[in-house]
Structure 1
């Protein structure tokens, strides 16, 4: 009887170990999957946070200058305010076919080395943002033919 009880006890222990090992393996795989999904979701999705410094022709701009121009242009767009003889911000049609990382429709707004555009000469450089206020790219007339644009660094 003692041997039979001992064998039964070993079977119960073995079954319990197998069951616990399976649970532990499942928990480990589940935890890894959850962490992977969480890290994917935590990636920055806001393009504005990925804006970087850019160079248009020979003029360099900091990321802060680009953000300021987008912020001012989008604020004016929302408020229905325009500046200058070309009424900035205004619709940007992307005739050049840039591959922006966000969907349009797009607006363009002058990019300045000092402050933000409030009238006068807009210069050659522009920020492009969509009508949700998300930065799409930076373009310039410098080096382009006619009234076309070419991409500044980071925009193609």
Structure 2
């Protein structure tokens, strides 16, 4: 009896230590843009914070509902939310932000050359469930219209 209780307690400890959400374990490629597992996880974590708080990144609508019209076979059940993952490695914050990225505008102000992001999130997205489980990574690159195609590792 003593061994079965110890075994049960060990199992409970193991389950309690397991992460609640799926983790990004592999890098992914979206239309020629390579993302590390850490970058995917960082974007998914940011999306999760917004989903859990019921808020959005800056003045944007992200994260927002992703209806999976393309029929991807995600490893977790929906409903799903999409959130931008940026080529620069930064976390999407919505609206206008300062720095360098693919979607930027440069202008001079008082002799300074400034680069301002336009707020465009680019073509790539992480997809998470309402429970903050990572479902996959998708991109508009190579898709027709406003559709998505899978990045490597998403089916």
TM-score by length of 2: 0.69
Gaps of 5+ in 1: 1-33
Listed one character per residue, the Cα deviations across residues 85-119 of structure 1 (whole Å, up to 9, x for unaligned) are 65000000000000000000000000113210001
Which of 86, 93, 117 lines up with 1:118 in the alignment? 93
Contact conserved, 2:24 with 2:41, CA < 8 A, in 1?
Answer: no
TM-score, structure 1 as length reference: 0.68
Q: Secondary structure at the match of 2:22?
A: helix
| Distance in 2 (alpha carbons) for counterparts of 1:118 and 1:79 | 15
Deviation at 1:80, TM superposition (A): 1.7
Q: Which gives a bigger RCO, structure 1 or 2 (Cα 8 Å, sep 6+)?
A: 2
Matched, 1:142 2:141: yes
Between Structure 1 and Structure 2, which shows a larger proportion of strand residues?
2
Note if contact 1:48-1:67 (Cα within 8 Å) is conserved in structure 2: no
Q: Is the 8 A contact 1:101 1:136 kept in 2?
A: yes
SS in 2 for 1:49: coil
Work out whether residues 65 and 82 of structure 2, in 8 Å CA contact, stay in contact via their aligned partners in 1. Answer: yes
Larger radius of gyration: 1
Tell me the matched-pair count. 118
Contact 1:51-1:66 within 8 A present in 2 as well? no
Query: Gaps (5+ residues) in structure 2?
Result: 1-6, 95-118
Runs of 4+ in 1 over 4 A off after TM superposition: 44-47
Q: 2:102 matched to 1:102?
A: no
Q: Which secondary structure state, in structure 2, belongs to the residue aligned with residue 103 of structure 1?
A: coil
Q: CA deviation at 1:83?
A: 2.8
